[in-house]
Amino acid sequence: MPRITVPATSANVGVGYDCLGLALTLYAHFDVERADTLTITGCDEAYAGPDNLFYVSMCYALRTWGIEPFPIRLHIETDVPLARGLGSSSTLVVAGIYAAALLTDRELDRSEAVALATRMEGHPDNVAPAVYGSLVCSFTPAGVSPEGCDNELEPEEPRCILYDVASNLRFVCVIPPYEVRTSEARRVVPKTLALSDAVWQMGRIAGMTRGLETGDAELIAAANDDRLHEPYRRALIPDYDAVRACALEAGASTLWISGSGSTMCAVVSETNTSFCPVSKRVAEALRSRFPGFGVHILSCNATGVKVA
């Protein structure tokens, strides 16, 4: 069976609320082929039907291309946890779209994949890095709202700006054994912003992208001071303060909330990328302090979705 592999993603990247996203070396794998009846394995039985997001996305892409959907055999193997702020839904959406192309021998370029996935997800911050890899700044053109395209206008492709991420950077992801609901995370974010906070944020987004490109951990830490969402979402993660303090004490440069949470991502700079002693020290400290949490030492994935 052909295999589609999609990386996890960390949206927002601290100060880039709903516009920055980073692909990580944690993966979801999907083995798929045509079949006589729909069969989905490797997930909870509740998700093994026609409302599985992979299959829904595949059918959406097929109908967009004027093709009648058909049953498939799908097996899922994923290390991306559900509802933890690491883009689990985006892995399903992106993989489903690529499966539609794969199983109909259709050429699919990445910009079209992002456009389709954005219409499914509502915004491109997770799906763009899942497709392209690396660090992506994305935004929807005029006439497209975060909830989808205005009825009076034709859908336009999201605009995506790709940045390389320096090889010395590691991202120690800390995954609590509880979720933060996206609806609640969005509810607590204020709907208006003071001009001074907007100016504060714009400069730091530029600093964050430059710091990640160059591997300048000091710049990343200085830029990672958000005023849009993290001050309000921290309260939804009971262990935020303790995790942050533990990570910084062990050698991390800074920490942000991944997506809407509950995962938190500590940024570490390594001088010798072959051994990563600082990352291991940070991870060991977090595992010792929070034994029920998942902890992964990750790098930036630079390739995005793969089909083999």
Tokens describing residue 37: 């009846």
The upper half-sphere exposure of residue 222, i.e. CA atoms within 13 Å in the direction of its Cβ, equals: 9
* % pLDDT > 90, the chain: 84
Let me know: does 218 contact 253? Beta carbons within 8 Å.
yes
Which tens digit of pLDDT belongs to each residue from 143-156? 444 444 443 444 56
The answer to which of 139-148, 187-196, 216-225 has the lowest mean pLDDT is 139-148
Which CATH number among 3.30.420.40, 3.30.565.10, 3.30.70.890, 3.30.70.2190 corresponds to the domain 169-298? 3.30.70.890
The Cα–Cα gap between 266 and 68 comes to: 45
Which tens digit of pLDDT belongs to each residue from 64-93? 999 999 999 999 999 999 989 999 999 999
Higher pLDDT, 122 or 98: 98
Give the predicted TM-score (pTM) of the model: 0.91
Which tens digit of pLDDT belongs to each residue from 160-186? 999 999 999 999 999 999 999 888 888
Q: Omega into 260 within 30° of 0, i.e. cis?
A: no
Let me know: does 226 contact 244? Beta carbons within 8 Å.
no
Mean pLDDT of 87-115: 96
Tokens describing residue 34: 């045509």
Nearest by Cα to 186 from 85, 89, 39, 284 = 85
- Every domain of the chain and the residues it spans: 3-164, 169-298
> Residues with Cβ < 8 Å from 58, sequence gap 6 or more?
69, 72, 96, 97, 99, 100
Fold of 3-164: Ribosomal Protein S5; domain 2 (3.30.230)
**Any idea which residue has 């262990």 for tokens?**
239
Task: Give, rounded to a whole angstrom, the gap between the first and last alpha carbons of the chain.
Answer: 9
Higher pLDDT, 254 or 183: 254
Which tens digit of pLDDT belongs to each residue from 2-34? 999 999 999 999 999 999 999 999 999 999 999
pLDDT of residue 245: 98
pLDDT of residue 152: 41
